[in-house]
Structure 1
Amino acid sequence: MTSAIRFALNHITAPRLSSRAFIDLAAKLGCTGVELRNDLADKGLTTRAFFDAEAPAAIGAYARDHHMTLLGLSEAYGFNRWSPAMKDKVELLIEQAKAAGAQTISLIPSNDGRQEPDEKRLADLRHALSEVLPLVRSAGLKALVEPLGFTTSSLRLKREAVDAIADVGGNDHFRLVHDTFHHFLAGESEYFPGMTGIVHISGVVDNTVTPDAMQDGHRILVNERDRLGNIAQLRALQALGYQGTYSFEPFAASVHADPDLENHLRQSIAFIREAVANEIA
């Protein structure tokens, strides 16, 4: 069963690398795909423009030439606060995805801590999904919705996303991101393998931080000290029939600055494969 585990890299893993160098790294590690991000400069992690100011088609072709699937482009942040400006942002991301040959775009809910009645919050979510639906349908793409487990998030639970997607008739055009970090933070026990488009993996080992205080900066590569239950989550997903890709998404500065990142990624991949195999056995 472990042979079915396919790994990928999200560009947040190595934001200092150009798109081409990042694809090279993924290929060296035996990954099957990559996810590229439009927010690395906004986060102060690079000074390069999206696609390194190259044509998206050129980067997409480079990935395919290296037998790498461009799994998706991230991200339209705050998509559930729908507006004309958000529509423009989603349309641009779709245009870039089509040009690059990416399979998906990512929709990220607002994490601004705004307190709203559930009725309004979920109505806004359904409205945004209904606006995105014809855009991705006409483009022949899928949009990935990623609930964020933070207490400040406007969409914490995958269940809410699944129900909203069904309500707008979007089951053929939307999928979930199952993020092991956010699944843990949200305290969610439900899995939705049939609606899961990709799984993001990262670990937290800092014993001094409580779950409600965990932030992206705590997220490192998965190892034997992991507090998030990554192995149990991957085992559950596989047992329920998920056969998609597991993409590394560590946000910690220590990972970004790691001079031996390639070797440490290899070690994490080997650890996950062995641990899942032992758990299943």
Structure 2
Amino acid sequence: MRFALNHIAAPNLSLPDFFTAAGELGVTAVEIRNDLPDVLSAWDPAQVKAEAEEAGVTIVSINALYPFNVWGGDLPARAEAMADYAAACGAKALVMCPLNDGTKVSFDSLVGALAAMKTILDTRGLTGLVEPLGFPISSLRTKAEAIRAIKAAGGEGTYRLMHDTFHHHLAGETEFFPDWTWLVHISGVTDPDVAVDAMLDAHRVLVDDADRLENVAQIRALLDAGYDGPFSFEPFASKVHDAADPKGALKTSMAFVSAQL
């Protein structure tokens, strides 16, 4: 298997230090973000591209366009700006997350958003990574629904799936779509007291032997089914972000996952 690193796995590291740490861990695929940390607002895309090239890493995605499935207001302009940035910094894809506040979004609206976004991505040579969110309040919870919408929008050549082990578990989705999957986010939940439907991003830690999300089983299922892309660490818990030795913590989790496989 191949690992990748999302900058949220070590958000206190500067962009150059993050890229360097990835290389020292033997990781060549990285993800940058527009929230924690907000690389897009802090760095010129040409500088980001230069830092990545110097460190020998590839920027596989930018996280994330939200809420991509409600096409209106300032979203089209934000989508174009993010796509321009991705193209300029050498990123390969944009992660696209659905509305997650309890508001229902119709299937037709989802399809319309994918159709509108398709032109923006295609003209810049980018892949759109649709990431269903498994939270009970999410407007798009399953990968099966995402695929149905992508096909309805004629987006088979533009879009692929982000398989997130946390959201896969929360949604109760059992089917895997290796041929549609372009990138996988991995994180664990170890808190024994939180119910599945109450799990939040703040519970997401690095994967270890106390993981409740069956990360190893999900990873094995994807690999056995033919998925050959990277597995990117995306923990949101503050105790991970504040770790004194984030590189060491990641190395330990990488070794655990590898050993289990």
Structure 1 match to 2:2: 6
Query: Of residues 248, 251, 255 in structure 2, which corresponds to 1:266?
Result: 251
Contact kept, 8 Å, 1:6 with 1:32, in 2: the verdict is: no
Separation in structure 2 between the aligned mates of residue 145 and residue 233 of structure 1, nearest angstrom? 18
**2:226 is aligned with 1:241:** yes
TM-score, normalised on structure 2? 0.97
Q: Tell me how far apart the structure 1 counterparts of residues 132 and 41 of structure 2 sit (CA, whole Å).
A: 28
Give the conservation status (yes or no) of the 8 Å contact 1:51–1:59: no
Structure 1 counterpart of 2:242: 257
Counterparts of 1:66 and 1:261, CA distance in 2? 18
Read off the aligned partner of 1:160 and give its amino acid letter.
Answer: E
- Which runs of 5 or more structure 2 residues have no equivalent in the other structure? none
1:126-165 to 2 correspondence within 5 Å? 126-165=111-150
Instruction: Note the alpha carbon deviations across 1:252-272, whole angstroms, 9 max, x for none.
Output: 000000002211111110111
Deviation at 1:75, TM superposition (A): 1.2
Q: Does 1:101 align with 2:90?
A: yes
The corresponding residue for 2:72 is 83
* 1:201 pairs with one of 178, 186, 189: 186
Question: Where does structure 1 differ by over 3 angstroms across 4 or more consecutive aligned residues?
Answer: none
- RMSD, aligned CA: 1.2
Q: Give the residue type in structure 1 aligned to 2:91.
A: A
Sequence identity (%): 46
The separation in 1 between residues aligned to 2:131 and 2:24, in whole angstroms, is 28
| Structure 1 stretch displaced more, 77-86 or 206-215 | 77-86
Q: Return the alpha-carbon distance in structure 1 between the equivalents of residues 147 and 102 of structure 2.
A: 22
CA contact 1:19–1:52 (8 Å) conserved in 2: no
TM-score by length of 1: 0.90
SS of the equivalent of 1:139 reads coil
Amino acid corresponding to residue 30 of structure 1 in structure 2:
G
Give the 3-state SS of the residue equivalent to 2:197 in structure 1: helix
Partner SS, residue 190 of structure 2: coil
Q: 1:51 to 1:81 in 2, by over 3 A?
A: closer
Deviation at 1:52, TM superposition (A): 6.4
Residue in structure 2 matched with residue 231 of structure 1 by the alignment: 216
Aligned equivalent of 1:221: 206
Question: Once the two structures are superposed, what CA deviation does each residue of 1:27-77 show, in whole Å capped at 9, x if it has no partner?
Answer: 11111211000112xxxxx5xx53463321221121122221100111111
What amino acid does structure 2 have at the position aligned with 1:266?
K
Aligned-residue offset at 1:21 = 1.2
Do the aligned partners of residues 52 and 128 (structure 1) sit closer, same or farther apart at CA in structure 2, a change above 3 Å counting? closer
Per the alignment, residue 161 of structure 2 pairs with 176
Tell me the alpha carbon deviations over residues 186-244 of structure 1, each in whole angstroms, 9 at most, x when there is no partner: 00011111111100000001101010010000000000111000000000000110000
* Structure 1, unpaired ranges of 5+: 41-45, 277-281
2:178 and 2:95 mapped to 1: Cα distance?
A: 18
- Per-residue CA shift, 1:123-152, capped at 9, x if unaligned? 111010010011111111101110000000
* Deviations 1:90-135 (CA, angstroms, capped at 9, x unpaired): 1011000010010001111010111x3xxx6211110100100111
Q: CA deviation at 1:82?
A: 0.7
Q: Is the 8 A contact 1:19 1:51 kept in 2?
A: no
**1:18/1:52 contact within 8 Å kept:** no
